[in-house]
Amino acid sequence: MTTELSQTEPTQFVEAAGIRFAYRRFGQTGGVPLVFLQHFTGTMDSWDPLVVDGFARARPVILFDNAGVARSSGSTPGNVQAMAEHAVAFITALGLKQVDLLGFSLGGFIAQVIAAEHPELVRRMILAGTGQEGGEGIRNLPQVLEQARQHSPDELRLFLFFEQTPTSQRAGREFLARQARRTADRDPESSEQTVGAQFTAIVAWGADADGRATARLQRITQPVLIVNGKNDIMVPTVNSFTMFRQLPRARLTLYPDSGHGGLFQYADAFVNEGVRFLGE
Amino acid sequence: MTTELSQTEPTQFVEAAGIRFAYRRFGQTGGVPLVFLQHFTGTMDSWDPLVVDGFARARPVILFDNAGVARSSGSTPGNVQAMAEHAVAFITALGLKQVDLLGFSLGGFIAQVIAAEHPELVRRMILAGTGQEGGEGIRNLPQVLEQARQHSPDELRLFLFFEQTPTSQRAGREFLARQARRTADRDPESSEQTVGAQFTAIVAWGADADGRATARLQRITQPVLIVNGKNDIMVPTVNSFTMFRQLPRARLTLYPDSGHGGLFQYADAFVNEGVRFLGE
C-alpha cells in the first residue's frame, strides 16, 4: 500500500491578516513546499488524493482553504487580487520564505498574481486548467454553469471537468470516488457567500484585460509547467497555449480525451511530470 | 556508464522494392520496435545518442536511411508520399507486422502518411518538430535556409534547431558533440540529389492542402505524442497545437527556451515521457 497522508493528516489552523486559515501540511520534510491553490467552489477535500499524495511522496505539500472558504474564517472576496493577498498572508504566517505553487483553474489565476507580484516568494509554479486575465471564454462561466445544470443535476463535475466520452466520464467517476474517500475531519462544502464571490471574481478575471494580461505573464520569470485537458469548457484549452507562448519560461502538456480536470484524469502522468519539474 | 548501443551497433542492409536499405536494429528484444524517421538532410548518425540509447534501454529501436539517403541505394523521391511507401517497404522487408514510429520534422510528415494509410502497421506514434500538410510556415523553408546561411555558415543546425539564447545555443553545441561521437562505420553525408529532392518534398508538403490535411489527421486513430520546442523556425510550433486539436488521440508537450530540436535539448524529459507513452 502506498502512503495516503491526504486521508489522515489532521487539519490545523493559523491566524493571519485577521483570518483563521484551515490547512494541512504533510509529505516530505525537506525542500520547498508545494502550496495547492483550489478551484471555484473547492475545499481541501476537493483535491484528488492520487495527485496530492503523489506529490507528497516527493515534496512537502500544503493544502489550505482561502479566506471564507469552508473552515477558514472571514469572507471570500470578489476579486482575484484580494484572494492572492490572502494566500500570501497565509503562506507568510507559516514562516515560509519561498514556495512552489500548484494553481488549478481559479487557483491558477491566483497563482499568476502571486508569482508576478511576489517573485521572491515563488520558486516554481504549476498551472492546471487555467488561463491569463481576459483569456478566451473565461467570462462565459454563467452560460457554462447553466448548461451544466441541464446535463447532470447530481454531479456537476462530471460535466464540467471531464470530456463527454465514455472513457473520460468513467475516469471522472473514479476521480469522484477517490475525492470522497476521506471521511474524518472533512471540510464542509463552500458557503453561498464563497461561491457567489468566487463567481464574481472569475467573471471579472475573464473581462477584457488589454495589455495587462500579457504584461503580467512576461513578468513571471519563474519556470512554469502548464497542463490541461484537450477540451476544457470552463477555461478553454487555447488559453494554455497562449500562456505558454507569453510566459518566458513555460513548458506545456496537454492530455487527450479530457477536459478541465485533465490533471486528475491523468494523475499518474501529471505527478510524474510535475515531480520531475519541481525537482529540476 | 550507461549502454550506448548507438555508438557501436553495426550497420546492416536489407533489400526491398529494388532498394538496398541501410539500417541498425538494437535495444530491448521484446515488444513493438520503434522506427526512427529522420529529418531533412539527416542520416542514421544525425540522431542524438541520448535519445536513441534512451529509448533503446526500454524498447527495440530501428534506425534506417530511406531510399537514396546516405548508404541506402536508389534515389530520393521529391514527395512525402513516395518516401512513406519506401519506409513501409523497408519495415515490411524486416518481417515486421506492427511498429511504433518516431518522426522528426520531414520524418514526422512521413509518419503521418504511414499511420493514415497503413493503420494496421502503426501501433503508436511520436511526432517531433513537425506539422500537418499545408501547415503554417512549412513552405518558407527556402527563406529560412537563406537566413541560416547568413547567421552561422559553419553549423547550420545551431541556428535551425535551437533558440537564439545562450542556454539553448549551449545545449545545441552539446547536442552536436554527442551526435558526432560515433566514428566507426559512420554514414556519409546526404548527397545533393537527396537534399534537393527532400527540399522539393518539404515545400510541396507546405503548400495549401485544403481539407486534405484535416481529413488525414482525423483518420489517424492511433495514440500520438506530439513534442516541439517553443520557437521552431523550420516547422512553426503552432502546427503542433493544431495537430493536437485535430488528431483524435494526441497528447502535446512543448518545451521552453528551445526550437526545432527541442527533443534533443530536453532529451532526458523527452525519453522519460516517450518511454512512458510507448509503454501504456
* ipTM reported for the complex, 2 dp: 0.94
* Chain B residues near residue A253 by CB distance under 8 angstroms: 251-253
Residue of A251, A266, A277 to mutate when probing chain B, most B C-beta within 10 A? A251
A249:B256 CB<8 A: yes
Our CA angle for B128, B133, B139, nearest 5°, is 90
pLDDT at res. A210: 82
Nearest to A269 among B252, B256, B276 (CB): B276
- How remote is the C-alpha of A223 from its chain's centroid? 17
Grid coordinates in use for A33? Answer: 513546499
**Mean pLDDT rounded to a whole number for chain B:** 96
* Chain A residues near residue B269 by CB distance under 8 angstroms: 276
Residue of B251, B255, B272 to mutate when probing chain A, most A C-beta within 10 A? B251
Nearest to A254 among B244, B272, B273 (CB): B244
B246 — contact with chain A (CB < 8 Å)?
A: no
Low-confidence ranges of chain A (pLDDT < 50): 1
| Cβ-contact A203, A141 below 8 angstroms | yes
B68 — contact with chain A (CB < 8 Å)?
A: no
B245:A230 CB<8 A: yes
Sign (positive/negative) of CA torsion B146, B151, B153, B158? negative
Cα separation of A82 and B27, whole Å?
Answer: 55
pLDDT at res. B12: 98
pLDDT at res. B3: 65
Residue of A232, A249, A254 to mutate when probing chain B, most B C-beta within 10 A? A254
pLDDT at res. A3: 64
B254:A255 CB<8 A: no
Alpha helix segments (H runs only) across chain A = 5-8, 49-56, 80-93, 106-117, 141-151, 156-161, 166-179, 192-205, 212-219, 238-246, 262-265, 267-279
A253:B249 CB<8 A: no
pLDDT at res. A4: 85
State the pairing for strand pair B60-64/B19-27: antiparallel
pLDDT at res. A153: 62
pLDDT at res. B154: 66
* Four-CA torsion B90, B92, B93, B97, nearest 10 degrees: 130
| Cβ-contact B228, B137 below 8 angstroms | no
Cα separation of A64 and A43, whole Å?
Answer: 8
* Chain A residues near residue B254 by CB distance under 8 angstroms: 244, 251-252
**Mean pLDDT rounded to a whole number for chain A:** 96
pLDDT at res. B1: 39
pLDDT at res. A154: 66
User: pTM of the prediction?
Assistant: 0.96
Q: How far is CA A104 from CA A93, A231, A263, B207, B269, in A?
A: 22, 16, 9, 40, 23
Work out the minimum CA distance from B209 to partner chain A, whole angstroms: 23
Is pLDDT at B236 greater than 50 in this prediction?
yes
Share above pLDDT 70 across residues of chain B, in percent, rounded to a whole number = 98
Find the mean pLDDT for residues B144-172: 90
Say which range, A84-88, A103-107, B180-184, B235-239, has the weakest mean pLDDT: B180-184
pLDDT in tens, B30-75: 999 999 999 999 999 999 999 999 999 999 999 999 999 999 999 9
A77 contacts: CB under 8 Å, gap ≥ 6: A67, A68, A83, A86, A197, A201
* Chain B residues near residue A257 by CB distance under 8 angstroms: 249
A275 — contact with chain B (CB < 8 Å)?
A: no
pLDDT in tens, B79-122: 999 999 999 999 999 999 999 999 999 999 999 999 999 999 99
A256:B223 CB<8 A: yes
Grid coordinates in use for A16? Answer: 493571519
- Residues 132-191 of chain A with CB under 8 A from chain B are none
pLDDT in tens, A118-132: 999 999 999 999 999
* Chain A residues near residue B276 by CB distance under 8 angstroms: 269, 272
